[in-house]
Amino acid sequence: QQQVKQSPQSLIVQKGGISIINCAYENTAFDYFPWYQQFPGKGPALLIAIRPDVSEKKEGRFTISFNKSAKQFSLHIMDSQPGDSATYFCAASMRWGGSTLGRLYFGRGTQLTVWP
Protein backbone atom coordinates (compact mmCIF):
# COMPACT_ATOMS: atom_id res chain seq x y z
CA GLN A 1 0.00 0.00 0.00
CA GLN A 2 1.46 3.29 -1.06
CA GLN A 3 1.82 5.63 1.89
CA VAL A 4 2.08 8.82 -0.16
CA LYS A 5 0.15 9.39 -3.38
CA GLN A 6 1.44 11.95 -5.85
CA SER A 7 -0.10 13.54 -8.92
CA PRO A 8 0.23 14.26 -11.75
CA GLN A 9 2.74 11.76 -13.07
CA SER A 10 3.92 14.29 -15.67
CA LEU A 11 3.45 18.00 -16.10
CA ILE A 12 4.24 20.37 -18.95
CA VAL A 13 4.29 24.08 -18.21
CA GLN A 14 5.16 27.14 -20.24
CA LYS A 15 8.08 29.25 -19.09
CA GLY A 16 6.84 31.79 -16.57
CA GLY A 17 3.85 29.69 -15.59
CA ILE A 18 2.99 28.08 -12.27
CA SER A 19 3.72 24.39 -11.73
CA ILE A 20 1.61 22.62 -9.12
CA ILE A 21 2.24 19.10 -7.85
CA ASN A 22 -0.04 17.49 -5.29
CA CYS A 23 0.46 14.79 -2.67
CA ALA A 24 -1.83 13.06 -0.21
CA TYR A 25 -1.15 10.79 2.75
CA GLU A 26 -3.17 8.67 5.16
CA ASN A 27 -0.91 8.12 8.16
CA THR A 28 -1.60 10.93 10.64
CA ALA A 29 1.66 10.08 12.44
CA PHE A 30 3.62 11.68 9.60
CA ASP A 31 5.06 14.99 10.74
CA TYR A 32 7.74 15.89 8.25
CA PHE A 33 7.06 16.49 4.55
CA PRO A 34 10.00 17.13 2.24
CA TRP A 35 10.17 17.56 -1.50
CA TYR A 36 13.10 16.21 -3.46
CA GLN A 37 14.26 17.32 -6.89
CA GLN A 38 16.07 15.00 -9.28
CA PHE A 39 17.84 16.01 -12.47
CA PRO A 40 18.63 13.39 -15.15
CA GLY A 41 21.67 11.32 -14.23
CA LYS A 42 21.71 12.56 -10.63
CA GLY A 43 20.44 11.41 -7.30
CA PRO A 44 17.49 13.21 -5.69
CA ALA A 45 18.32 16.24 -3.56
CA LEU A 46 16.27 18.00 -0.90
CA LEU A 47 14.46 21.03 -2.31
CA ILE A 48 12.21 22.23 0.50
CA ALA A 49 10.45 20.72 3.51
CA ILE A 50 7.63 21.57 5.90
CA ARG A 51 6.46 20.49 9.33
CA PRO A 52 2.72 20.36 10.06
CA ASP A 53 2.74 23.25 12.53
CA VAL A 54 2.67 25.70 9.59
CA SER A 55 0.38 25.84 6.56
CA GLU A 56 2.87 27.27 4.12
CA LYS A 57 6.61 27.54 3.58
CA LYS A 58 8.24 29.58 0.87
CA GLU A 59 11.80 29.51 -0.40
CA GLY A 60 12.35 31.69 -3.41
CA ARG A 61 10.05 30.55 -6.21
CA PHE A 62 9.17 27.30 -4.42
CA THR A 63 6.27 27.09 -1.96
CA ILE A 64 4.84 24.17 -0.02
CA SER A 65 1.18 24.44 0.96
CA PHE A 66 0.04 22.09 3.71
CA ASN A 67 -3.52 21.15 4.62
CA LYS A 68 -3.44 19.04 7.76
CA SER A 69 -7.18 18.36 7.93
CA ALA A 70 -7.26 17.14 4.32
CA LYS A 71 -3.95 15.31 4.72
CA GLN A 72 -2.65 16.92 1.57
CA PHE A 73 0.34 19.03 0.64
CA SER A 74 1.48 20.55 -2.59
CA LEU A 75 4.48 22.13 -4.25
CA HIS A 76 4.03 25.35 -6.20
CA ILE A 77 6.78 26.57 -8.51
CA MET A 78 6.19 30.18 -9.46
CA ASP A 79 7.62 31.69 -12.64
CA SER A 80 8.69 28.22 -13.81
CA GLN A 81 11.96 28.12 -15.75
CA PRO A 82 13.43 25.57 -18.18
CA GLY A 83 16.09 24.88 -15.53
CA ASP A 84 13.30 23.62 -13.24
CA SER A 85 12.70 20.69 -15.61
CA ALA A 86 13.30 17.66 -13.40
CA THR A 87 11.52 14.91 -11.53
CA TYR A 88 9.98 15.96 -8.24
CA PHE A 89 9.22 13.59 -5.38
CA CYS A 90 7.13 14.34 -2.33
CA ALA A 91 7.79 12.35 0.80
CA ALA A 92 6.67 11.94 4.38
CA SER A 93 8.20 10.64 7.56
CA MET A 94 7.82 10.53 11.31
CA ARG A 95 10.32 12.58 13.28
CA TRP A 96 9.90 10.29 16.26
CA GLY A 97 9.22 7.05 14.48
CA GLY A 98 10.74 4.46 16.77
CA SER A 99 11.77 1.56 14.55
CA THR A 100 11.10 3.63 11.43
CA LEU A 101 13.11 6.66 12.57
CA GLY A 102 14.65 8.29 9.55
CA ARG A 103 12.59 6.38 7.04
CA LEU A 104 11.12 8.44 4.17
CA TYR A 105 8.02 7.30 2.30
CA PHE A 106 8.14 8.65 -1.24
CA GLY A 107 5.47 9.45 -3.78
CA ARG A 108 5.96 8.06 -7.28
CA GLY A 109 7.30 11.29 -8.70
CA THR A 110 6.26 13.95 -11.19
CA GLN A 111 8.27 14.63 -14.31
CA LEU A 112 8.12 18.38 -14.92
CA THR A 113 8.99 19.86 -18.30
CA VAL A 114 9.11 23.63 -18.65
CA TRP A 115 9.01 24.82 -22.26
CA PRO A 116 10.94 27.99 -23.13
Partner 1 sequence: EAQVTQNPRYLITVTGKKLTVTCSQNMNHEYMSWYRQDPGLGLRQIYYSMNVEVTDKGDVPEGYKVSRKEKRNFPLILESPSPNQTSLYFCASSSTLAGGGNEQFFGPGTRLTVL
d(CA 89, CA 21): 9
CB of 2 to partner 1, least distance (A): 9
Nearer to partner 1, 102 or 116 (CB): 102
Nearer to partner 1, 4 or 13 (CB): 4
Nearer to partner 1, 16 or 39 (CB): 39
CB of 79 to partner 1, least distance (A): 25
Nearest Cα residue to 11 out of 111, 116, 115: 111
- Yes or no: say if 80 and 63 are a contact pair by the CB < 8 Å rule: no
CB of 52 to partner 1, least distance (A): 11
Residues of this chain that bind partner 1 (CB under 8 A)? 6, 9, 31-32, 34, 36, 41-46, 49, 51, 89, 93-97, 99, 101-104, 106-109
The DSSP-derived string for 56-104 is EEEETTEEEEEETTTTEEEEEESS--GGG-EEEEEEEB-TT-GGGTT--
